[in-house]
Amino acid sequence: MLVDTLGAQAPAAARTDWHALARGARVKRFAGQSALLAFLLIVSVPIILPYFWMVVISFTARSGGVSTDVLWTSCAVIVPAVLIYSAVHLLAPSPRVRVIAALILLVAVGALLAALVGGQLHVANYRFLWRTNIIEEIRSKATAGGQFPSVWVAFRNSLALALTQTLLILTVASLAGYYISRFAFRGREAFLQGLLVLHAFPAMTLIIPIFLILHWVGLLDTIPGVILVLTTIELPFYVFVMKGFFDAVPWDIEMSAMTDGASRRQAFRLVVLPQVRVGLIAIAVFAFIRAWEEYIFVRTMLIENKNWVMSLYLFWVSDDIMGVDYGIVAAVSVFYVLPSLLLYVFCQKYLTQMTIGGIRG
Amino acid sequence: MARIELKNVGKNWVGATAVDRIDLSIEDGAFIAVLGPSGCGKTTTLLMLAGIYNPTTGDIAFDGARVNDVEARDRNVGIVFQSYALYPSMTVLENIMFPLRFKKVERAEAERRAREIAGLVRIDALLERRPSQLSGGQQQRVALARALVKRPHLLLLDEPLSNLDASLRLSMRTEIRRIQRELGVTTILVTHDQIEATTMADRIVVMNAGRVEQEGTAKDLYEQPKTLFVASFIGSPPINLFDGHAEDGAIKVHEATVPLNGSARGNVVLGLRPESIRVDSTGTPARIIAVEPMGREVLYSADCSLGRVHFLEAGAEARHREGDNVALAFSPADALLFDKSDGQRLDAGIAA
């Protein structure tokens, strides 16, 4: 009887038009992908365009003003190329075709750009890298901060600040994160909530008390002073992130290491730390970039020009010659943004992991 | 290799008792299984033996010496965790050599021993791989090799087979047994699977709610369970249990009255193994309500005057169908009687 009922329904099943369904699904997927691609292209324009403009200005602007000719010419070459590649990407699923198309387009864009704007490019705006007194040359007088320092002094200060801060954060956040993740202690919950609350408060509100404290302890206008302040403000967040990463490491391997003869410290170093390597890299990159771009606190607490960091150097350059020479300001900006950009590009996959680790917490 | 003793060992967490004063002694070279449902305290007991947890009460002794205060790293105990707990950042060889790092064994000697033990558990071909590139069964063998390479006094296996598929589980059971015999290492297997316990261990300790219910051989536990818990936990398909009331030399169960042999009063539980019930024209009438062929035997469910019973008949072919009326009987000697209030086995039996 059961078989009979199934038999009666068989013609209905045969009438299903599988080809039409498959076609429908393909059209739908194609439309979805196109819409996604278009959306991503559109939202990336306001982010990419200013950076691109900055780079263009730094290589083309000459003293006295800035023209948008080169920018629009380059866009007229690059935008169609991007659109053509998008079309190829959507229509050709084979990776070979995609790579070949990308290479052809790159060569075409390079040739066109060289022909149309190549003659206007120059590196004179980057002369701040090897000459110290450019500001006086341009304005024929000293800057507000006195003699303008070499960019390399600021670069060295920035590097020292960012590296030290990264090292401090790595050490404290990994140890504290491990402890909070593994040990029960009185007030653990309150401590965790405290970390979050601390992170939620805008640190800016503390700027006057911090300024005064630094002044009283004699660390005002010193790089170590700024390092201490910034590390303290940033730490809660990183401790929390590291706790999330340690939470994800199973207890079993630690117990196993201890029965295998390791002390708790050895188990931590040999077995647990390698498991949170991704987390360590992520917070290191993040901490470095944050320290590299820090502005408000260094602006407040570093005064003398021998203590300038890159952000202050950029500020004073633009303060002194904005409206006179955009080219140099753009060139300094490019030089300033380059390290964080490179770091970000190479470590991007670790940074995306950080949120995962954080959520687990 | 060591003789292990637990005296009055207990472990309390804040507001909860995980292990409630257990006594146990394990002969040198013996293989025993600790069997119990999850949460019965068996893993806590294991971790106390390993030295990860400190017992709240009682003493643990290795070869007669109290080791409560000896740190985990110095106890020379090998553990295989349920998750295997291999170190993901190390290769298989590095994993196996890890315990020897802390033993002042020279590198060359350590590697020789690691390779030897890898041969014993048959993973010689995998030594350069990382744990993530191994199958579950291979990971299991690596974990076993790592636990054995330090020549432990005591080998602890925490549900070592529960993450393996059925056929692999069967071969690993024999394999672990073979290796244990070969090395003669005192071994404690913790498991919730009675087949694992009965097939691998010489002796089984049944735990429930932090206490030892009974210890003995598989045969003892099956035929002479001391408590209702042991009777119901051991045996597959499980024992039939009927609530009844004993008075005046008989037990009233559901609609039936069963004559008592011996004295018992009050609420009791009557237990009958599925294979001790048989179809017999002199028995009580019953109606078959479900038939489940299990390969070499058939499991039937039936309703009779005792209530719902399950019984087994040998043979692959089912001889009764759903809805059939049959007559069922059991031999009184196979019946088990328990006190309902404390779960203890009663001396009394069923009269013929």
pLDDT of residue A357: 46
Q: Which residue in A has a C-alpha nearest to residue B143's C-alpha?
A: A256
Q: Is residue A144 part of a domain?
A: no
> A187 and A54 in one domain?
no
Q: Is residue A2 part of a domain?
A: no
**pLDDT tens, position by position, B148-198:** 999 999 999 999 888 888 888 888 899 899 989 988 999 999 999 999 999
* Largest separation between any pair of C-alpha atoms in chain A: 103
Q: Is residue A146 part of a domain?
A: no
Looking at the complex, report in whole angstroms how far the Cα of residue A182 sits from the nearest Cα belonging to chain B: 14
Please, what are the domains in chain B?
4-229 (3.40.50.300), 237-350 (2.40.50.140)
Q: Which residue in A has a C-alpha nearest to residue B90's C-alpha?
A: A271
Cβ–Cβ pairs < 8 A, chains A and B: 65
> A220 and A167 in one domain?
yes
Chain B residues in contact with A252 by the CB 8 A cut-off are 81-83, 85
The reply to whether residue B50 touches residue A259, judged by beta carbons under 8 angstroms, is: yes
> A192 and A74 in one domain?
no
Please count the residues of chain A. 361
- Give the tokens for residue B99: 């315990």
The reply to whether residue B81 touches residue A252, judged by beta carbons under 8 angstroms, is: yes
Among the partner residues A259, A262, A274, nearest to B89 by beta-carbon distance:
A274
Among the partner residues B51, B85, B99, nearest to A250 by beta-carbon distance:
B85
Domain that holds residue A38: 18-122
> A110 and A234 in one domain?
no
List CB contacts of B38: < 8 A, sequence separation 6 or more: B192
Cis-peptide into B332, omega within 30 deg: no
**How many domains does one find in chain A?**
2
**pLDDT tens, position by position, A122-166:** 888 898 888 877 777 777 666 555 667 888 999 999 999 999 999
Residue B47 contacts A where some CB pair is shorter than 8 Å:
yes
The reply to whether residue A261 touches residue B88, judged by beta carbons under 8 angstroms, is: no
> A194 and A56 in one domain?
no
Q: Which of B98, B38, B115, B103 is nearest to B75 (CA)?
A: B103
What 3-state class would DSSP assign to B175?
helix
Looking at the complex, report in whole angstroms how far the Cα of residue A275 sits from the nearest Cα belonging to chain B: 7
> A112 and A155 in one domain?
no
The reply to whether residue A266 touches residue B86, judged by beta carbons under 8 angstroms, is: no
> A308 and A208 in one domain?
yes
> A191 and A112 in one domain?
no
Q: Is residue A4 part of a domain?
A: no
Provide, for chain B, the percentages of residues in helix, strand and coil under a 3-state DSSP scheme, each rounded to the nearest 5: 30, 40, 35
pLDDT of residue A360: 40
pLDDT of residue A3: 47
Residue B160 contacts A where some CB pair is shorter than 8 Å:
no
Confidence at A195, pLDDT banded by 50, 70, 90: confident
Chain B stretch 162-201, residues whose beta carbon is closer than 8 A to a beta carbon of chain A: none
Domain of A302, CATH number, reads 1.10.3720.10
Q: Is residue A290 part of a domain?
A: yes
> A287 and A199 in one domain?
yes
Q: How far apart are CA A51 and CA A330, in angstroms?
A: 10
Q: What does residue B76 show for φ and ψ, rounded to 5 degrees?
A: 55, 55
Angstrom distances, CA of residue A159 to CA of A15, A153, A285, A307, A340: 71, 10, 13, 12, 11
**pLDDT tens, position by position, A245-271:** 999 999 999 999 999 999 999 999 999
> A229 and A88 in one domain?
no
